[in-house]
Amino acid sequence: MAIIKRLYYSFVLGWKIWSEWAQWWIFFGYLLIRPIFGVAIFYMVIYFAQGNKAMNLFFWILAGNALFQILSGTSTGMVWTIFDDRNFYETLIPIYISPGSFLEKIIGRSLGVGVTGIFTSFFILFLAFLLGANYSIKPSFFYYVLLFLLTGIGFGLILASFSLFMGEGAGYLIEGTISALQLISGVSFTPQLLPTFLQKIAFINPFLYLIEGGRRSLGLSSFFIKEISSERLVYYSLLTSLLTITIGIATFLISEKIARRNGALTRKTNY
Amino acid sequence: MIKNLILNIRACLGRAQVRFIGLKRDLYWIPFDVLLPLLGVSTFIFIYKSLKMPPITYTFVILGGSMISYWLNILWSMASQLYWERMTGNLPLFFIAPCSINSILIGMAVGGIYATSVRALSIILLGIIFFKIPIYWQGLPQAILAFLLTLISLYGLGMMLSSIFLLSGREAWHLSNLLQEPIYLFSGFFFPIKTLGFWVASLASLIPASLGLDSLRQSLIPESKPFAFLSFEIEITILCILSIIYIYMSFILVKKIEKIARREGRLITRWQ
Amino acid sequence: MLVIETINLSRIFINKKTKKRIEALKNVSLQIQGGQIFGILGRNGAGKTTLIRILTTLLLPTSGSAYVLGYNVENEYYKIRPYINLVSGGENPGYGVLNIKENLFFFSQLYGIPRKLAKEKINKYIKEFGLEERAYNLVNTLSTGEKQRMQLIRGLLNDPEILFLDEPTVGLDVESSRFIRQFIKKWIEETGKSIILTTHYLAEAEELCNLIAIIDSGRILALDTPSRLKAMGSKEILYEIETTPLSLEFLKNIRGVSIIQDKYLDGKVSFKISLENESLISNVINKISELGSNIIYLRKKETSLEDAFINIVGRSIEDD
């Protein structure tokens, strides 16, 4: 019960810090502008290349990006939470020494930011509908949303483990890793286009199957890994999520111990 | 007059030196500032590949990617920099010093241009190695002219934004975040701005990166001429005009904003 | 020479959300002569920092005017800036990616100090401030005391005519605070320049300042030398006396004398008395001798600056 309470309060705190810098309608507009322009960029790129002849590819790209948003939003939130708390708000220490585990508080805080990832994701899908996408949402879609959220937390914890020891590098770490992951997870193009060595990495990358499963839950036909059935993808994705969150928690707990030993928690950078 | 000029040159070089030292000492940029934008833009190269577009489109994207480095530098290291300077307590010290805040901003720009150019060139180099992008090297002198004018007007715009952002608190960070994607779109970082249509492209030309990139593409990829928005000469002329306007405006704006900031106490407020 | 003058200076802040008006300064009129340490003493939120910020050209007054070195802070700020500097306690300006020398060099350039001269000055001060061993360390790795020493060096680089010190020893250890206080005194003696010091440490104000202005709720309530301010602490004349065994009944028979406190311990009597006038003390001493008792200890109790502060402001400097 106490854990749930702490998670909840951390979540509310995270949400408030994230959202209360402006009037609610400004914040809301802020959340909409990035996805709108992101979608517009993809559209213009495809329009420049093929006119309106490749709209299927466009909607396929949007679906991948929408789902990936949940994962990237949550994990990014986690890394920035630690960075901001330590360097700018100077709240990392009071949060750390307060009752309850650091892990719960960090998860709660970053979920406050992560929910906007879900919002952005749904908004991109909504835009796709408006532009004529023919998605047929299956019940498994919500299962995938949950898995993306869990995977985002797990992946965020892995990255946050490193960010405990870093200053500004944490920002580079998250952006770099997310960009690399996006490239090898079939988010915007089929992995077969990658150089051979990257293709090998892409196909052993579990996130590729998670994205593909998510796309199929929107009723989209597969451009690749057609041989794997949607049912099998459901299990693969669950496994990916559970594995990521387990590795995430383990890595974070170990890193926290090391960080406490070598004083990294209190180290600040202000360049 | 001369004494004042020397004072401001010293302040400018002093601030630029912070960036030079930072680049030398904070080596995170090597793996991340070069590879990261390259990874980001690679997505668009692969999309063009999947659409079976010719390799000149890869050059479009790589040149756009190198320009993104400058735009991000403008946003994060120019526009919102004064916000960070306020957070660390440096800003009041800039204002009580006798040098002009503009000299500090120019110093930031000089340091930023140096640091970002290293990154941008690395991106182009990696683009040539990994994607074998075709480049017409004979067009280099024209490209350098376009590039320099783009930088002058772009950093003039950056100085203007710095002044505006000075009035904002935590919103500065969000404003920077917010200005990323729209500018990626309107500057045609991944596609020629001509695709946006005449009127939108004309409005987009107010952002120096739009015409700068278009003229760079024209000079380094002769096959891109059919996709060019305006002729190279017109684009260069507009860039010259934009440079003068933005730099002049930034000087006017910074004075006005300083007055507002002093009146409202914004130079001293830290967390908001 | 008059270095600072304020005439009916007021500053109002308006909270944008609640629309609440906060009067940080109310009709402050001051005249400060140069060549001294002028202290502004007040509780947290009294208006000290607002006053400093107006005088250092960072903030405009809402009404009234202020002159620094004869220049108006409102429209002649650019003439003031070359001659002043500011060091605030508890803040660490500078760049974490630079070491002490690089940071100081950067700040020296904002004043256009020629390269060679700047480096000579920096080296001189680094030695004087005992930071030689840390000169090439990044500022992130410095202790709070070392950071504050670096900040004080920064404030001195342009040889300011007026150095504004806003709570310079706040949060520092005893040794660092003492070092800074001693340096300030020495600097004023050697240069004859001026320091405007805000503090809420009474002992610091008493030790350093030639004149102290006591500020509360945006108003200057008193302005005088520390000793005269202390005299304002109480009108009472207090004496502490310790004697061999004695009954204190006799004091009740001397008009104008009242007992404030008495203690009987180890065969001695300690008591504190209040006198209506100074001459009554001889009556008390004579009476003690007449009664056959010996005086072991006698001291006139001075009022402290704290007493004065409480008397003037109506509450202690530490009260919230």
Give per-residue pLDDT as tens, C223-281: 999 888 887 766 678 888 999 988 888 888 888 888 888 888 888 899 988 888 888 89
Which pLDDT band holds residue B31 (cuts at 50, 70, 90)? low
Q: Which chains touch B (3 or more CB pairs under 8 A)?
A: A, C
Tens digits of residue pLDDT in B113-164:
888 888 788 888 888 888 888 888 888 999 999 999 999 999 999 888 888 8
The amino acid sitting at A19 is S
Contacts for C183 with CB less than 8 Å, ≥ 6 apart:
C128, C129, C152
Residues recorded for chain A: 271
Contact C237, C278 (CB under 8 A): yes
Q: Which chains touch C (3 or more CB pairs under 8 A)?
A: A, B
Report pLDDT for A271: 43
Is the domain spanning C237-302 CATH 3.30.70? The answer is: yes
Rounded to the nearest angstrom, the minimum Cα separation between C259 and chain A is 51
Report pLDDT for C243: 92
Contact B123, B40 (CB under 8 A): no
Question: Which of A24, A267, A270 is best to mutate for the C interface (most C CBs within 10 A)?
Answer: A270
* Nearest CB neighbour to B39, from listed A50, A180, A271: A180
Q: What stretch(es) of chain C map to CATH 3.30.70?
A: 237-302
Q: Which residues pair with C269 in a beta bridge?
A: C243, C264
Q: Which residues pair with C33 in a beta bridge?
A: C2
Report pLDDT for B64: 92
Report pLDDT for B74: 87
Q: How would you list the strands of the sheet with C84-88, edge to edge? A: C84-88, C162-166, C194-199, C37-42, C211-216, C219-224
Contacts for A150 with CB less than 8 Å, ≥ 6 apart:
A241, A242, A244, A245
Range picked from A32-36, A168-172, B7-11 for highest mean pLDDT: B7-11
Residues of chain C with pLDDT under 50: none
Residue of A nearest to B185 (CA): A41
Q: Give the distance, in angstroms, between the CA of residue A225 and the centroid of all CA atoms in the same chain.
A: 23
What's the rounded Cα separation, in Å, for the pair A269 and A266? 10
Q: What is the DSSP letter of C138?
A: B
Chain A positions touching C150 (Cβ under 8 A) are: none
Q: How many residue pairs from chains B and C have C-beta atoms closer than 8 A?
A: 94
Report pLDDT for C74: 92
Which pLDDT band holds residue A166 (cuts at 50, 70, 90)? confident
- Phi, psi of C65, rounded to the nearest 5 degrees: -140, 160
* Nearest CB neighbour to B11, from listed C94, C97, C109: C109
Q: Are strands C21-33 and C237-243 parallel, antiparallel or unpaired?
A: unpaired
What's the rounded Cα separation, in Å, for the pair B185 and B191? 9
Contact B32 A21 (CB under 8 A): no
C-alpha pair distances (Å), C220 with each of A115, B225, C26, C42, C215: 52, 73, 8, 9, 4
- CA-nearest of B189, B47, B37, B211 to B127 is B37
Structure tokens at C61: 């007054």
Contact C71, C79 (CB under 8 A): yes
* Nearest CB neighbour to A41, from listed B28, B36, B190: B190
Contact A85, A41 (CB under 8 A): no
Rounded to the nearest angstrom, the minimum Cα separation between B26 and chain C is 7
Rounded to the nearest angstrom, the minimum Cα separation between C59 and chain A is 24
Range picked from A170-174, A210-214, B26-30 for highest mean pLDDT: A210-214
* Average of per-residue pLDDT across B187-193: 93
Residue A3 touches partner B, C-beta closer than 8 Å:
no
Fold of C2-231: Rossmann fold (3.40.50)
Structure tokens at C1: 């020479």
